[in-house]
Amino acid sequence: MDFDAKNIAAPAVRELAPYVPGKPIEELEREYGVRDSIKLASNENPLGPSPKALAALAAAAGDIWLYPDGSGFGLRAALAKRHGVPGEWITLGNGSNDVLVLLAEAFLTPQSEAVCSEYAFAIYAIAARATGATVRIAPAFPTDHPMAFGHDVEAMARLVNERTRLVYIGNPNNPTGTWIEAGALEAFIASLPAHTIVVVDQAYFEYVEDARYPDAADWLARYPNLVVTRTFSKAFGLAGLRVGYAISHPQVADLLNRVRQPFNVNSLAQAAAIAALEDPAHLERSVAANRAGLVQLAQGFDRLGVRHFPSVANFVLVDCGRPAGAVYEAMLRHGVIVRPLGGYGMPNHLRITVGTTTQNERMLEALQQALAG
Ligand SMILES: *Cc1c(COP(=O)(O)O)cnc(C)c1O
């Protein structure tokens, strides 16, 4: 049989390049024969999950033969309370990644368009392009701008037209660590037409401490075309469970619910996420550790003479001043996994997650040796 899956695939899917995740520790140890390696490549919380979330997981384990609550009632109620909105405004996802895809499925067609920024989180364009929609990419701020590589919302606004159905904003954005302050972001949202949904992805919301940084969920009552996404993968330390959510106007939530898999968030994830919300002290410890880690990394990069960019999240963008692929490889041989950004069109840059004090020290040593070698 003359079979070629590519020839029969949806044309838009044929053109996609898959997302490249951070290298798992097991894979590094298998391939390089190193041990005790550390992963600072996927912006996970180095403190791990709340002990309360772990206890809730254990307590829920006996029930995994049952389908989960497909409506996610308990978790949605807890999130509704947290954000001061009705439960109908919350849509749960298998990670917020799931919600970003549901938005594309619900609002995009091959005839419509999405807008995002250069250097924006890769999933936005992948999710949009998979539907056959056209993705327009606005140039980011230049490297001499105070928010180098950041989203230029004025440039993004110029790409919005009568076919634009979705605009994705990473705030803060990954992999750049850049962000948009409240005034500029709200003015951009207010400028958008009613036929355009604006998605403000706040995956790192809990980490951000700058007073000018907005809680975009505060604006939902004013802008029914606004969708805010959040996750339990980052500051809450539950990346492996896959749970995130959108907060939106109930009409938008109703549409997302039509394309959502009925059981997209598993029962263990729902139980652990509820418990994580009930442990603000663990979140505070995580944020404080990250704050200290950001200082430690900035001082370390300065000592090594490595250009680094300001970050309000739990990772830092660095410029190796030379092709970063070889630096990444050399760090792997020292058992330290960071993230190369060639796929983002940043061949000289690495994205490095804030780890524990010890992990940060080890990463800086590996970087120093990689740069010297
Ligand atoms: C990590 C991340 C996400 C999604 O993470 P999930 O684990 O799918 O919730 C979304 N947006 C950005 C910018 C991220 O960095």
Q: What is the pLDDT of residue 221?
A: 95
- C-alpha of residue 97 to centroid of ligand 1, in Å: 6
Could you tell me which residues are beta bridge partners of residue 19?
Answer: none
Q: Would you call 235 helix, strand, or coil by DSSP?
A: coil
- C-alpha of residue 338 to centroid of ligand 1, in Å: 17
Residue nearest to atom 15 of ligand 1 (CA): 174
- C-alpha of residue 103 to centroid of ligand 1, in Å: 14
CA–CA distance, 162 with 159 (Å, rounded to integer): 10
Residue nearest to atom 14 of ligand 1 (CA): 203
CA–CA distance, 276 with 51 (Å, rounded to integer): 8
- C-alpha of residue 35 to centroid of ligand 1, in Å: 28
Ranges of beta strands (E only) in the chain are 38-39, 90-93, 113-117, 134-138, 164-170, 197-201, 226-231, 244-248, 307-308, 315-319, 336-337, 339-341, 346-353
Q: How are strands ordered across the β-sheet holding 226-231?
A: 90-93, 244-248, 226-231, 197-201, 164-170, 113-117, 134-138
CA–CA distance, 86 with 258 (Å, rounded to integer): 19
Domains of the chain (ranges, CATH numbers) = 20-48+281-372 (3.90.1150.10), 51-277 (3.40.640.10)
CA–CA distance, 341 with 358 (Å, rounded to integer): 25
Tens digit of pLDDT at every position of the chain (373 positions) = 899 999 999 999 999 988 888 899 999 999 999 999 999 999 999 999 999 999 999 999 999 999 999 999 999 999 999 999 999 999 999 999 999 999 999 999 999 999 999 999 999 999 999 999 999 999 999 999 999 999 999 999 999 999 999 999 999 999 999 999 999 999 999 999 999 999 999 999 999 999 999 999 999 999 999 999 999 999 999 999 999 999 999 999 999 999 999 999 999 999 999 999 999 999 999 999 999 999 999 999 999 999 999 999 999 999 999 999 999 999 999 999 999 999 999 999 999 999 999 999 999 999 999 999 8
- Phi, psi values for residue 236, rounded to 5°: -80, -10
CB-based pocket (< 6 A), ligand 1:
43, 95-97, 121, 170, 174, 201, 203, 231, 233-234, 239, 244
Q: Among 19, 75, 94, 97, which residue has the most ligand 1 atoms within 8 Å of its CB, making it the best to mutate?
A: 97
Smallest Cα–Cα separation from 189: which of 213, 167, 162?
A: 167
CB neighbour class for 21 (10 Å; exposed up to 12, middle 13-18, buried from 19)? exposed
